[in-house]
Amino acid sequence: MLSYQDCLAFCGLEEEEIAAIAEHEHLPMIVAAELGSYLCHRPDGTPMIKRMILDDIADAKASSDRDRYLKLKLVLRHFVQTHPSIVPPQSQTRQ
């Protein structure tokens, strides 16, 4: 049987990033780890996770939860640094 720590190590995300997914999607942490792993392996997945974190930041700001807001800003910064968005290749023109 896999433990939460096993899932955390497998998914490629930090615990704080998984917590942001869990908060956004109203999921238990272990299910959020599975969702995060799935999204990390999709071309459109990292922008989706980034959007979730941005939504959580907006919610924290709207509720004046400064500590949560600042923590999520750090989570976003780390996520962007470690999971760069996939840039589609430029189309080649024929000559």
- For position 90, what pLDDT does the model report? 46
In a domain, 43, yes or no: yes
In a domain, 45, yes or no: yes
In a domain, 38, yes or no: yes
In a domain, 90, yes or no: no
In a domain, 20, yes or no: yes
Domain count, the chain: 1
In a domain, 91, yes or no: no
In a domain, 69, yes or no: yes
- For position 88, what pLDDT does the model report? 42
**CA angle in degrees (0–180, nearest 5) for 49-8-13:** 30
In a domain, 87, yes or no: no
| Lowest-confidence pick of 7-11, 45-49, 56-60, 84-88 | 84-88
Q: What's the pLDDT tens digit per position in 30-82?
A: 999 999 999 988 888 999 999 999 999 999 999 999 999 999 999 999 998 88
Which domain range does residue 51 map to?
7-82
Can you give the C-alpha Rg of the chain in angstroms?
15
Three-class DSSP category at 77: helix
